Amino acid sequence: MSSEPPKLLWLLAELTYSCPLQCPYCSNPLDYSQYPAELSTDEWIRVLREARALGATQLGFSGGEPLVRRDLEELVAESRALGYYSNLITSAYGLTKERLKGLKELGLDHVQVSFQASTRTLNDELAAATVFEHKKQVATWIKELGFPMVLCFVLHRRNLHQIADMLQMAVALQADYVELATTQYYGWAFQNRAQLLPSRRQLQQAEAAVTKFREEYSGPMKVYYVVPDYYESRPKACMGGWAKLSLNVTPDGVALPCHAARQLPDLSFPKVTDHSIKEIWNQSEAFNRYRGFDWMQSPCVDCPEREKDFGGCRCQAYLMTGDAQQADPVCEKSPHHEQVLKIIEQTEPMDLQEIPLTFRNSQQSKGFCKESKQSGR
């Protein structure tokens, strides 16, 4: 790629892989327990400064559960001083009103709280933790303290029927935005895909519920809803293009163009402890690998839509075809699209619900580490 590197706008700081919840669709890698090391406060501050100097403006504190880090306050204060717009992406587990108030005073701009479902039973079953009532309590504090609030419901086969209730709950909690976030099938969600991917009929019902809500609701809350890309005929413009807008730093300091890229083979992602953010963003082989169009093969290479979707998602191409340079198989033009259709077909029989979910926790993760060692990956 000969042209200028794109402008970095977004930094996602995954502060820790620790999390008190065990959501079976977690986007962290299956083998996260292999990477227990975490960057120090000073290292994070250097990352924040260097990314800001490159132009990053939006900053997400994520994880795992970012509240687990005791230096979150220090990092929030630093990000305000640097001029970031800071977003705390949290399960709200264990968050007290005092801590939230302190974060507000230090300049945290926005809080996003995730919900697993609109009922306590299902929410706490999916999180494998008792969290539902506390989340609702935290949501009221967020509004009381004057934060803008995003509520994020992660949607899948097990909770899609609650979509109308989720919207009502978001209205009742005075959310400014509600994200009906379709599960993306990477990491733990890929592992649990058969149990999580909704059927076409479920999706039609969900879409009808969202449409009805939009017709009837006239308040200020904004609703974002996207159908799972498996049901589309063209791929999503994943991350707005590979290493085009966004940089992700893992708890142990690996720089990635997206949170799922760590699993891609034959790419060596640079560590922020070895290189500056500027070197990583502008020069590293990994960040340049899928920039632009030179890497593309058929059918992407001469597709008139390549500038719109950039060939879709590299991780999805790898997960389904074993080759990250393929077109995203979600695309009808992909020679592997059959696979997606087959997966969708398999969502129809409802007895799939009998298969147990694999919950995201260290014990399971250690099992995956062992498996990947045995298979030589």
**Which x/- pattern over 149-188 shows residues binding another protein (rule: CB under 8 A)?**
-x-------------------------xx-----------
60 has which bridge partners? 12, 87
**Cα dihedral value 336, 227, 209, 139, nearest 10:** 140
225 has which bridge partners? 180
List, as one string, the DSSP characters of 111-171.
Answer: EEEEES-SSHHHHHHHHTSS-HHHHHHHHHHHHHTT--EEEEEEE-TTTGGGHHHHHHHHH
Nearest-angstrom CA–CA distance, 373 and 284: 27
Smaller CB separation from another protein, 222 or 370: 222
**Which x/- pattern over 63-102 shows residues binding another protein (rule: CB under 8 A)?**
--------------------x-x-x---------------
Shortest distance (Å) from residue 268 CB to another protein: 28
Smaller CB separation from another protein, 76 or 320: 76
57 part of the interface to another protein, by CB under 8 A:
yes
9 part of the interface to another protein, by CB under 8 A:
yes
284 part of the interface to another protein, by CB under 8 A:
no
240 torsion bin: left (phi>0), alpha (psi -120 to 50), beta (else): left
* C-alpha closest to that of 39 among 249, 272, 251, 275: 251
Shortest distance (Å) from residue 376 CB to another protein: 39
321 part of the interface to another protein, by CB under 8 A:
no
31 part of the interface to another protein, by CB under 8 A:
no
In the region spanning residues 98 to 127, those forming contacts with another protein, defined by CB under 8 A, are 109-110, 112
Crossing angle between the packed helical segments 41-54 and 72-82, to the nearest 10 degrees = 20
Q: Which stretch binds another protein (CB under 8 A): 21-29, 49-57, 253-261, 326-334?
A: 49-57
61 has which bridge partners? 13, 88
Given 24, 60, 66, 311, the residue binding another protein (CB under 8 A): 60
Retrieve residue 327's tokens: 């077109």
**Which x/- pattern over 206-245 shows residues binding another protein (rule: CB under 8 A)?**
--------------x-x-----------------------
58 part of the interface to another protein, by CB under 8 A:
yes
Retrieve residue 137's tokens: 């309590």
Nearest-angstrom CA–CA distance, 149 and 177: 7
- Residue that has been written with the tokens 């699993």 in this structure: 263
Smaller CB separation from another protein, 56 or 127: 56
Q: Which stretch binds another protein (CB under 8 A): 56-64, 153-161, 303-311, 354-362?
A: 56-64
Where on the chain is the footprint of another protein (CB under 8 A)?
A: 7, 9, 54-55, 57-58, 60, 83, 85, 87, 109-110, 112, 146-148, 150, 176-177, 220, 222
